[in-house]
Amino acid sequence: MKALQYTRVGSHPEVVEIEKPSPGPGQVLLKVTAAGVCHSDEYVMSLSEEEYTAAGYPLPLTLGHEGAGIVDELGEGVEHLAVGDAVAVYGPWGCGRCHNCSQGKENYCTNAQAEGIKPPGLGAPGSMAEYMIVDDARHLVPLGDLDPVENVSLTDAGLTPYHAIKNSLPKLGAGTYAVVIGTGGLGHVAIQILRALSGAQVIALDINDEKLELAREVGAHHTVISDESAADAIREITGGLGANAVFDFVGANPTIATAVAVAAAEADVTIVGIGGGTAHVGFGSVAFDAAIRVPYWGTRGELIEVLDLARAGQVGVEIQTYSLDDGPKAYEALAAGTIRGRAVIVP
């Protein structure tokens, strides 16, 4: 079968021919229907040889941590699933037994590292292939009549902002302000989730005018170019008080500085982007009682909730599709900043 793999540190992803896997006991083989392209893949492929090895990534690595498919074959002992079922893959695989996993918070599994459990596409073979193995039926959520290509990115570009926003909802009642920095794959879904679940006015920031146009289309009340004057613009929009929650989907030093600068008293500053930046935190440099959070992905229950939001028509992903053969082009477009919404590979 064909797969899109990262084969050498410093190389570009390439389409290769590999053996079609078969499911072991408890595993599920999916015929992949869609695989989303995330900026985190670019981050992984930007690591030096030393960093890559230290992080425990294998080579070759079949990419793709957003996946959807049709159940093709069930391993021994798998129940409650049938060949032909349409499913989405819950990506942050955990052990299923620890205290966090028992609450569906497999994204914070306390055994994953020691047991070498890795998400598909970020260690285990991912969804950018004709077929993929899912290690446990627990990691599949029924798609029902949701279109897999339109919705596959909800498994990360939807789930990650959903998890981040849900924790800040008590601070986002009527009359409040939420800031979304970076309105790409995750950010443009974040805006819709904020509109669906909160009473906040949404202020979106990006460096790119076309991304800000998309932000307005999906529901942002205000858009601001992300530069040194952005914090002043946000202060003005919020009547001098600042924002009650800031979600930074870039996570670089300048965006984190803006995020902290515009936080109101008791605000949440949530850094989702892996842009290598750090926050300067201390008395006088952050608003009183503001909290800084660094979440990772989301819970199994939240994935079910995000798919329900899509089913209700409250959230949708703007997509651009590529064939598996053209997969490398999707990554080139992502690096060039020309993807509107999310790139999705359709094998």
Residue 293 three-state SS:
strand
The interface with ligand NAD within residues 98-127 (CB under 6 A) comprises: none
Closest CA to 163 of 337, 286, 309: 309
Choice from 249, 263, 309, 317 touching ligand NAD (CB under 6 A): 249
Q: Does 57 bind ligand NAD (CB under 6 A)?
A: no
The option from ligand NAD, Zn ion, none interacting with 89 (CB < 5 to 8 A, set by class) reads none
Choice from 13, 23, 69, 185 touching ligand NAD (CB under 6 A): 185
Q: Does 251 bind ligand NAD (CB under 6 A)?
A: yes
Choice from 29, 30, 39, 122 touching ligand NAD (CB under 6 A): 39
Closest CA to 137 of 24, 46, 36, 58: 24
Q: Does 183 bind ligand NAD (CB under 6 A)?
A: yes
Residue count, binding to ligand NAD (CB under 6 A): 34
The option from Zn ion, ligand NAD, none interacting with 111 (CB < 5 to 8 A, set by class) reads Zn ion
Q: Does 189 bind Zn ion (CB under 5 A)?
A: no
Judge residue 223's burial from the number of C-beta atoms within 10 Å of its C-beta, 0-12 exposed, 13-18 middle, 19 or more buried.
Answer: buried
- Cα within 13 Å of Cα(100), Cβ side: 14
Q: Does 94 bind Zn ion (CB under 5 A)?
A: yes
Q: Which stretch binds ligand NAD (CB under 6 A): 2-10, 119-127, 175-183, 313-321?
A: 175-183
Two structure tokens written together for 244: 């009650």
Beta strands in 273-347 (DSSP E): 291-293, 319-323, 342-346
Whole-number Å distance between alpha carbons of 223 and 205:
6
Secondary structure letter of residue 44 according to DSSP: H
The option from ligand NAD, Zn ion, none interacting with 168 (CB < 5 to 8 A, set by class) reads none
Two structure tokens written together for 90: 């819950």
The interface with Zn ion within residues 118-157 (CB under 5 A) comprises: 156
Smallest separation, CB 95 to Zn ion (Å): 3
Closest CA to 271 of 283, 257, 256: 256
Based on C-alpha coordinates, what's the Rg of the chain? 20
Whole-number Å distance between alpha carbons of 234 and 44:
32
Q: Does 297 bind ligand NAD (CB under 6 A)?
A: yes
Choice from 27, 40, 127, 155 touching ligand NAD (CB under 6 A): 40
Annotate each residue in 255-294 with x if it binds ligand NAD (CB under 6 A) or - if it does not, as one string. x----------------xxxx-------------------
Closest CA to 193 of 293, 298, 263: 298
Judge residue 193's burial from the number of C-beta atoms within 10 Å of its C-beta, 0-12 exposed, 13-18 middle, 19 or more buried.
Answer: buried
The option from Zn ion, ligand NAD, none interacting with 181 (CB < 5 to 8 A, set by class) reads ligand NAD
Q: Which residues bind ligand NAD (CB under 6 A)?
A: 38-40, 43, 156, 160, 181-187, 205-208, 211, 226, 249-252, 254-255, 272-275, 295-297, 334, 337
